[in-house]
Every structure is written in C-alpha cells, then in structure tokens.
Amino acid sequence: MNVDYNAEPLVQVKDLCKYFQVGRHATLKAVDGVTFNIWKGETVGLVGESGCGKSTCGRCLIRLYEPTSGQVLYDGKDITKLNKEEQKEFTRRVQMIFQNPYASLNPRMTVKEIVGEGLKLQGMPNNEIEAKVQELLETVGLNKDHMSRFPHEFSGGQRQRIGIARALSVDPEFIICDEPISALDVSIQAQVLNMLNRLQDELGLTYLFIAHDLSVVKYLSERVVVMYLGTIVETATSEELYANPMHPYTKALLSSIPEADPRRAKASQRIPIKGEIPSPINPKACCRFANRCEFATERCFNEIPQAREMSPGHIVACHLMEQ
C-alpha cells in the first residue's frame, strides 16, 4: 500500500508514560517517554524482548490503560479528551487483536455472539447481524457453520481468525496487533500473516504490529520501533534497520535471528547480551541498556541519552552516536 508520509500522521504518540504504583515508594515504569508516529496505510512494527512495555504501549493507544502522562493523538484528536460521541466513534475506528486466542474469547458465547457483539453495540439491527457475521467469517477463512459453535471447539489458529473477524466487524481503520501469532504453530503463523497482509490491501487498514520475532516484523512492516525497558532505543524503516542497525541492543537482537542458509549462518556472528534485564521499578536516570552494553561509558550510567536523527527517518537514542 502507498503511504503518504507528507500527510499528517494518523497516530501520534508524544512522550507517552504509563506507570504502575506497586508499593508505597515503588513505581513500575512500564512505558517511559515513548514518542513515534504511524501514518495511514502503513504497518509499524514495535519490537523488543518480553517485559519491555510493548503491550502496555499498545493498550494505552486504545485506552485499555489510561496514560500516566504524555499524549496519544488519533486523527489529530487527543484520545483522553474525547466526548461521549467521539469516544464511541474512536472505539469503532480503532480495534485490537489480542495475543492469546484462548483467553481473549468469551467461552460462554457462540462465535455469532462474539463477532456480532460490536455490531450490536454500534446499533446494527439483529436481522442484519447474522448476514454480516457470516460475511466476516468468510473473509477470515471460516464459514457459516462455525457461527453456532463455542470457542473451545476450535484450534488456536481458528480462534485467532475469530478474534480477527471480531476486530474487523465494526470496519476499523487502525488495528493494534498484540503478538497475534506468538501462541500459534509455525505452519499457522504464515497463514495468519498472509491474511493480515491481504486484509490491509483490501480494506486499507493501518497496523501497529507488536512482536518479539524480528523476522516476522521484517516481512510485515514498513517501519520498525525498537523498545527496551520502557524506552525507545531506535526507529527506522524496516529496510534501513535490518541493513544498518546502530544501537547496540538492536544489533544484538538482529544477530539472534536464525539463518536458514548454513553458510550464511556460519558467517554471521551472534552478539550475546550479557547479564539480566534490570527491574523497571524505580529505574535510575541513565541509559536503560547501560549495564548490559559492552560499549557503555561512565556517561551511559549517569545520563539519559537523547534521540538523535542519524539519517532521514533513522532515529537512535545512544550516547555512542555523538562520537
């Protein structure tokens, strides 16, 4: 899909923070000062290891979590300041596909009720809902015979298709895909990815694709945002990031992608990340990656690095970039 990067971004995330109070003097900084944009029609990959704040960030974008500070603008409007009518329209335009297809579907509801729930809330008459649900199921590769069944009667891949049909039911523009294939078998993963690609082309969708599998993100995304411990360390186009990673954490992540060709696998050098991921509770004001980085200097342990644009669209937050 052609993306107009000269237009106003569809989603603007500005200095977004989401903190959780976990004790009297303990604050878990799940998302800490995150800034990025998403343009209409593009797929942005949000990557990083487990616990880095990817899913929390995605949930703030759809208001499942209220941000502690910062702004999320959707189509130019602050999503925390919408009136009742605007909020209803926002929930129609923005949807989410959840990570776990076993936990995200109500076991007491039939497929027809699950997929049709959003249509009902948006005011569609009951006599039209059945035809629309059937159409949605066919769009995601299921059929009308599945409408009367319950979630436990389906495989993981089929359940995720039901979750996608539910997200599509209200004709959204922007879908947050929260690791939608990580709980599925490898053979099913490719089917779901191809379907998401096809739906984007057919329906003109915009995606935020949250994942920790970098090969999947490369396949799907125009641009990639790399997160580490609540902060963004690098942002670039997919092509640029994979060809020229700059942040030490990004380099280590990319080196861990398995290589199918034995000769290339032998030639590529894996970069190990030493030590354990530090706690996000009351983090020190410094580079979050400093205690695991082999290039860290004294400054890295005492000062937060500022994001710098190294080339058009390639932004890195690392003190080493100033040298």
Q: What is the mean pLDDT of the chain?
A: 90
182 or 25: whose pLDDT is higher? 25
User: Could you give the 3-state DSSP secondary structure of residue 295?
Assistant: coil
Read off the pLDDT of residues 216-253 as tens digits, 9 standing for 90 and up.
Answer: 888 889 999 999 999 999 999 999 999 999 999 999 88
What does the block give as tokens for 220? 């799907």
What CA–CA distance (Å, rounded) separates 99 from 50? 13
Let me know if 131 is exposed, middle or buried by CB neighbors in 10 A (0-12, 13-18, 19+).
Answer: exposed
What CA–CA distance (Å, rounded) separates 170 from 120? 10
Binning pLDDT at 50, 70 and 90, where does residue 272 land?
A: confident
Residue labelled with tokens 């596909």 = 97
pLDDT surpassing 80 at residue 266? no
Domains and CATH numbers, the chain: 11-322 (3.40.50.300)
Q: According to the model, what pLDDT value does residue 100 have?
A: 84
**Among 120, 250, 276, residue whose Cα is nearest residue 133:** 120
- With a pLDDT cut of 90, the percent of the chain lying above it is 65
Read off the pLDDT of residues 16-37 as tens digits, 9 standing for 90 and up.
Answer: 999 999 988 999 999 999 999 9
Residue labelled with tokens 């995330």 = 13
Q: According to the model, what pLDDT value does residue 262 have?
A: 67
Residue 281 DSSP code: B
Please tell me whether the overall predicted TM-score, pTM, comes out greater than 0.85 for this model.
yes
Contacts of 153 (CB under 8 A, 6+ apart): none
pLDDT surpassing 80 at residue 2? no
User: Could you give the 3-state DSSP secondary structure of residue 141?
Assistant: coil
Q: According to the model, what pLDDT value does residue 14 have?
A: 96
- DSSP strands (E only) in the chain: 11-23, 26-38, 43-47, 69-74, 77-78, 94-97, 174-178, 206-211, 223-228, 231-237, 307-311, 314-317
**Among 227, 180, 204, residue whose Cα is nearest residue 43:** 204
Residue labelled with tokens 């409408």 = 147
Q: According to the model, what pLDDT value does residue 260 have?
A: 61
What does the block give as tokens for 249? 């954490």
Q: According to the model, what pLDDT value does residue 268 have?
A: 65
Provide the edge-to-edge strand list for the sheet that holds 69-74.
Answer: 26-38, 11-23, 69-74, 77-78
* Mean pLDDT value across residues 177-186: 84
Residue 245 DSSP code: -
184 or 160: whose pLDDT is higher? 160
State the DSSP H helix or E strand holding residue 255, giving kind and residue range, or none if neither.
Answer: helix 248-255
Q: Are 277 and 289 in contact (CB under 8 A)?
A: no
